[in-house]
């Protein structure tokens, strides 16, 4: 029997994502000047106020207030009428030194023997459903908001957009887990109060989203995905009415509250640990990236059509507690899931230091991850410039989303005789 599956995304202007982006900007700036920095920082944003808290071990001093303000302005909160803007909001820092009790379990004389920065389990997932090996509903939800942000910055076709927005896509699948059609699309976007006639204003917003935004998103997709769009899609555009008050003024934001948006939109599983604000010694982040890297390479190599990878750690312990694999019955090799897991442990070194080295995680590469998902993104090299409080600059070439590389295909195919 056909079934429905839904995923959501939130924009860079969503209050929780504002918090994530500030936390990850701090990570990037610390790593740019001291790649060995240990950082765990949380951000809270609300009306006219930013609170920074956390623990840091680094040899660099940063102007964290300026970093936070720059992020807020880049997102688009630049007007006093938003009740939250980068130039006038208060920024309170409660960042302090990292506990030696934690650090001694992580740092070792030999970097290879570096212990895990925390206990817990992490999951990676991949599917052949899209060309970037991501679940389709989440992929479309992200693309809707990325294109909406582009329209907002262009300020031509839809000039009234404000930074805060959310999307949601529901897809109908057949019994073979193949997408049949898009059932519904939800878009809630913050906007200027541009018409005293609220009914006419909402009608204008709905028309613009359906007739301007959606065609632009559809035009980016492969023909087989475009076919899923149909004239029976149920659209819910700003379903509660006008959405003028938004962002941190409308809803307090916190780092790490959008972990399903950050990963697989509810497909697969999640270990519960957030990513943003954590340096790569925290396996919540690094091992989640490593398991995505494994999952994507397994599917791309033809081991299976869909796979979930779990790895678990104890704080301060070098080797993982175990690796679990579930191919959901889609395996193309004559092996059990347990046998596949054993092969995976032989191909991929899952010690924390090995993950950091393999995926180049000591780069200032994290700001780009903090909105529109950490997975399924484009692997590319970009140039980034960072500034000390006395305005000395440092420019680096940074490789982004290294866990999306299909650089282990040959090793995987050899190990599985493909």
Place of tokens 């494994």: 294
Residue 243 marked ligand-binding: yes
Residue 278 marked ligand-binding: yes
Residue 153 marked ligand-binding: no
Residue 397 marked ligand-binding: no
Quickly list H helices, 283-367: 283-301, 337-347, 352-358
Q: How many helices (H) and strands (E) does the chain have?
A: 13, 13
User: Which residue, among 243, 247, 132, 251, has the nearest Cα to 186 in the 3D structure?
Assistant: 243
In what helix (H) or strand (E) does residue 261 lie, and over which residues does it extend?
A: helix 259-262
Residue 131 marked ligand-binding: no
The total number of residues shown for the chain amounts to 418
Residue 193 marked ligand-binding: no
In what helix (H) or strand (E) does residue 126 lie, and over which residues does it extend?
A: strand 120-127
Residue 14 marked ligand-binding: yes
Residue 34 marked ligand-binding: no
Side-chain-side CA neighbours of residue 132 (13 Å): 23
In what helix (H) or strand (E) does residue 21 lie, and over which residues does it extend?
A: helix 15-33
Residue 374 marked ligand-binding: no
Contact of 306 with 299, CB cutoff 8 Å: yes
Residue 232 marked ligand-binding: no
Residue 204 marked ligand-binding: no
- The CA angle 379-382-387, to the nearest 5 degrees, is 135
Cα–Cα distance measured from residue 182 to residue 225, given in angstroms and rounded to the nearest whole number: 10
Residue 363 marked ligand-binding: no
Residue 411 marked ligand-binding: no
Rg (CA), the chain: 22
Residue 42 marked ligand-binding: yes
Two structure tokens written together for 311: 């790895």
Two structure tokens written together for 242: 């006008």
Residue 66 marked ligand-binding: no
Four-residue CA torsion sign, 234, 239, 242, 247: negative
Contact of 352 with 281, CB cutoff 8 Å: yes
Tell me the CA end-to-end span of the chain in Å, nearest whole number: 34
Contact of 148 with 165, CB cutoff 8 Å: yes
Cα–Cα distance measured from residue 299 to residue 297, given in angstroms and rounded to the nearest whole number: 6
Question: Which of the 8 DSSP states describes residue 247?
Answer: H
Residue 319 marked ligand-binding: no
Binding site, annotated residues for Mg(2+): 16
Binding site, annotated residues for K(+): 42
Binding site, annotated residues: 14, 16, 42, 55, 98, 164-166, 242-243, 251, 257-258, 274, 278, 282
Binding site, annotated residues for ATP: 14, 164-166, 242-243, 251, 257-258, 274, 278
Binding site, annotated residues for L-methionine: 55, 98, 251, 282
């Amino acid at each position: 029997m056909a079934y429905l599956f839904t995923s959501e995304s939130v924009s860079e202007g969503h209050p929780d994502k504002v918090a994530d982006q500030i936390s990850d900007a701090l990570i990037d700036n610390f790593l740019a000047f001291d790649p060995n920095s240990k950082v765990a920082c949380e951000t809270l944003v609300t009306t006219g106020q930013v609170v920074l808290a956390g623990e840091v071990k680094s040899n660099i001093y940063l102007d964290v207030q300026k970093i936070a303000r720059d992020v807020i302005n880049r997102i688009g909160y630049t007007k006093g009428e938003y009740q939250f803007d980068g130039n006038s909001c208060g920024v309170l820092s409660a960042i302090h030194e990292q506990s030696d009790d934690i650090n001694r379990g992580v740092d070792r004389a030999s970097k290879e023997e570096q212990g895990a920065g925390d206990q817990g389990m992490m999951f990676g997932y991949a599917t052949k459903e899209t060309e970037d090996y991501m679940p389709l509903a989440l992929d479309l939800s992200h693309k809707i908001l990325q294109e909406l942000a582009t329209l907002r910055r262009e300020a031509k076709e839809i000039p009234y957009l404000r930074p805060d927005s959310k999307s949601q896509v529901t897809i109908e699948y057949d019994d073979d887990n193949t997408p049949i059609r898009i059932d519904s699309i939800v878009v809630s976007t913050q906007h200027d109060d541009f018409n005293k006639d609220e009914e006419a204003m909402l009608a204008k917003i709905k028309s613009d989203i359906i007739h301007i935004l959606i065609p632009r998103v559809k035009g980016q997709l492969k023909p087989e995905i475009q076919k899923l769009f149909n004239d029976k899609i149920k659209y819910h555009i700003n379903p509660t009415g006008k959405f003028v008050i938004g962002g941190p003024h409308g809803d307090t934001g916190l780092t790490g509250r959008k972990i399903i948006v950050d990963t697989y939109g509810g497909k697969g599983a999640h270990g519960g640990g957030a990513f943003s604000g954590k340096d790569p010694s925290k396996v919540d982040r690094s091992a989640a990236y490593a398991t995505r890297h494994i999952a994507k390479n397994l599917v791309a190599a033809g081991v299976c059509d869909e796979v979930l990878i779990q790895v678990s750690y104890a704080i301060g312990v070098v080797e993982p507690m175990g690796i679990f694999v579930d191919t959901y019955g889609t395996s193309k090799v004559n092996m059990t899931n347990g046998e596949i897991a054993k092969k995976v442990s032989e191909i991929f070194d899952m010690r924390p230091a090995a993950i950091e080295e393999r995926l180049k995680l000591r780069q200032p590469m994290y700001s780009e991850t903090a909105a529109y998902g950490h997975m399924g993104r484009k692997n590319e090299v970009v140039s980034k410039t960072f500034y000390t409080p006395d305005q000395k600059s440092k420019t680096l070439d940074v490789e982004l989303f290294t866990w999306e590389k299909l650089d282990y295909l040959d090793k995987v195919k050899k190990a599985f005789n493909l």
